[in-house]
Structure 1
Amino acid sequence: MGTVGLLYVGAVLVVNGVMLLGHVSPRGAAPLNLFVGALQVVAPTYLIVFAAGDPARIALAAGLYFFGFTYLWVGINGITGWPNEGLGWFSLVVAVAAVGFAVHSWVEVGDRVFGVIWLLWAVLWTAFFLLMALHRDHLAPAIGVLAAGEGLLTAFVPAFLILAGWWDDSWAQALVVAALGLLLLGVSAPLSRSLTAPAPVPSGTAPGVH
């Protein structure tokens, strides 16, 4: 069930990345955030209830709530127009927790790839903190590329591979994911310059006239 949720986390991160690039409005992205946010609250609750008291399974499920609350908050703010500062500071909490879950995944669970993935999520949620809590609005397009790219790299593709039975946790795969994550971080700003939606032309102004 957690893997199915991860598949849709990938989808919502891509949509939110496109939103930050200016191609989708916050209100337009709100429904998917609400759907996935609700799923990411229901899924860990189910996993914890049926974990039979296993601390490892409970710990893995507990981390999903951070993402569920994030997407619900994004969806609510998109509909209401409420300010994002609170969500920004919550994102810092998520980033710190993600580092802890990375260590837990690597040391206790022995899952090296998801140890790397948790670290990449820590980077992304730190970027959300910079954008929303500290109002680094100029970073929005680059963070949009980073969010969309991580949606594919850390969520959608791993979930699909796990569901298809093609997933293999190994040092090599962990290094590949880490390298791709660093590459994505490096190219986010350059790519954002060509992927950002053009600014709307004011009514009554001819294109190319400023």
Structure 2
Amino acid sequence: MTGSTEQQPARRSDATRATILDAARARFAADGYEKATIRAIARDAEIDPSMVMRYYGNKAGLFAAAVSIDPRLPALSFDQREEIGRTLVRHFLALWEENGELTALLRVGATDPEVAERTQSVLQDQLIPLARRVGPEPEQAPVRAALCASTVLGLALTRYVLRFPASVALGREEIVEWLGPTIQRYLTAPTP
């Protein structure tokens, strides 16, 4: 009997969290991070704002939980070893252009440690194993992955957040041709 009464609050808690996350995703997508408020999200979820704070602490914590960061790097296939860099750049461009939440994530991650930590977990869980898989020296994978991330995130910052005119003006294939060989070298060249 005790087990079933303990499960009811847990199920309600899970349902409340799911409702908050659904409302947050919709609100962040509609208003962006800056304009979305805890009150509006709570109103959309039909709960008290204090419940949002109870489960997620603050707007940045809610955003980190609501925004999915999965670049799906393990699913990428590299048929031609000499095209790894270009394939990755094309993949990241598609991710950034299809998911406006990633731009907000970059903005928030620059100032919020919790969001930054979540972003770093992608590097740890996906980019480092990829670098280990394709690189000549597995022990160099963290350095190689960090260099790739700095290049891709630098592009994202200048193109999608700061909107540097020269960066915005570049076509996708131009970016692939500029950055692909650099990413390729970071991942596959011998250590200097």
| TM-score category, normalised to shorter length | 0.3 to 0.5
TM-score normalised per structure 1: 0.30
The answer to which structure, 1 or 2, has the higher relative contact order (CA under 8 A, 6+ apart) is 1
Q: Which has the larger radius of gyration?
A: 2
Query: What TM-score, normalized by structure 2, do the two folds share?
Result: 0.32
